[in-house]
Amino acid sequence: MKLRAALPLALILAALAPAAEAASPPRDTDQPETINGIAIRAGIERLSYISLRYLGVRPSYDACIAQTQGVVPKQQDCAEAELTYQDSRLNRAYKTLLADSDELDKRAAVGAERAWLTFRDKDCAARAGRYGSNAGPTTESICLMETTAHRAQQLEDWQTSLKPSTVSQNSGFSGHWLYSQSCGYKHSVDLYLTQTGSDVSGHWGEGTRISGSSGDVKGKADNHQLTLQYCEGDDRTGYTKCPAYDPKSTDNFILHGDELIRYRGRGLGADRTFEKDVVLHRVVQGKPTVEDTRCPDKE
């Protein structure tokens, strides 16, 4: 039996290379990977790309952070102000969840919430410990705020799962509504509405990458039409200071499926007119948020 001479390893690898490349083409690391509808850049921690807006963090927080110009103590003030709001939101969602649960589910929810609170506090304290006495307190405040917002969204989604119809077209105006511009000044509008009969109440937030504001809303629904009055919490827009409302400052909305079309009020009294403004979309768990890519204010 004759032995064949072995081919050099370099020749074998060269022969296999084209086939390997054809089977597994090189990945362009400059192109983002899409996970659940969210673009993720290579090498970036994926959790950092969970949208704070989806978790219900108000545009006024982004505006507050932008105004700090990187001053760490001021960023802590922004986080603590937003944490106060998110704590209130979490408590509302928790009470609503318990009210809609039977005794067995209620006990499970109470146990889960206590365990989560313990985890949140320890986790955020551990994260802060890595940054020392300078940035540590700010890191802890931001962690507490973001984690609380995330938990509030989880409880709202949990409560929604008990009543699937609340995210259908039959749910009326109740829910989280969002308009989000993906470019330009990144204009955004958030509405968190609860409808009981014809009465509608909730919270609003609106802003750009430069500034923002937030407050409460109340109004009346008539079939697919809604009129809202506003009050604000931070004296930035000219609305009446909460808890008072100015009946002369109203916007109208038209409900069309999972779209909420805003007609912005202009002028006062008999001269007040309404112009079509933005279209908000219902935020539904598991579905990507709809973004407006039309940006006439691109720079």
Specify if 109 maps to a domain: yes
* Residue 219: predicted pLDDT: 92
Q: Do residue 148 and residue 132 come from a single domain? A: yes
CATH of the domain at 143: 1.20.1270.180
Name the strand (E) or helix (H) holding 219: strand 212-222
- Tracing tokens 């105006």 back to the chain, one arrives at 173
Specify if 274 maps to a domain: yes
Listed ranges 14-18, 89-93, 120-124, 194-198; the one with the highest mean pLDDT:
120-124
The DSSP secondary-structure symbol of 210 reads S
Q: Is the pTM of this model over 0.75?
A: no
**Residue 236 pLDDT class (50, 70, 90 cuts):** low
Nearest partner of 175 among 187, 160, 189, judged by Cα: 160
Tell me what the mean pLDDT of segment 68-89 comes to: 91
Specify if 13 maps to a domain: no
* Residue 289: predicted pLDDT: 81
Domain span at 108: 59-162
Specify if 98 maps to a domain: yes
Specify if 37 maps to a domain: no
Exposure string of 77-91, with b = 16+ CB inside 10 Å and e = fewer, is: ebbebbbebbeebbe
**Residue 21 pLDDT class (50, 70, 90 cuts):** very low
Q: Do residue 74 and residue 155 come from a single domain? A: yes
CATH of the domain at 194: 2.40.128
Kindly report, residue by residue over 130-155, the tens digit of the pLDDT: 887 788 899 999 999 999 999 988 88
Tell me what the mean pLDDT of segment 242-250 comes to: 82
**Residue 8 pLDDT class (50, 70, 90 cuts):** very low
Q: Which residue has the higher pLDDT, 129 or 31?
A: 129
* CB-based contacts of 195-200 (< 8 A; 24+ apart in sequence): 195/221, 198/222, 200/173, 200/226, 200/228
* Residue 267: predicted pLDDT: 75
Helix axes 132-162, 72-99, angle to 10 degrees: 20
Kindly report, residue by residue over 281-298, the tens digit of the pLDDT: 998 877 788 888 877 654
Q: Do residue 200 and residue 120 come from a single domain? A: no
Helices (H), the chain: 9-23, 59-68, 72-99, 103-129, 132-162
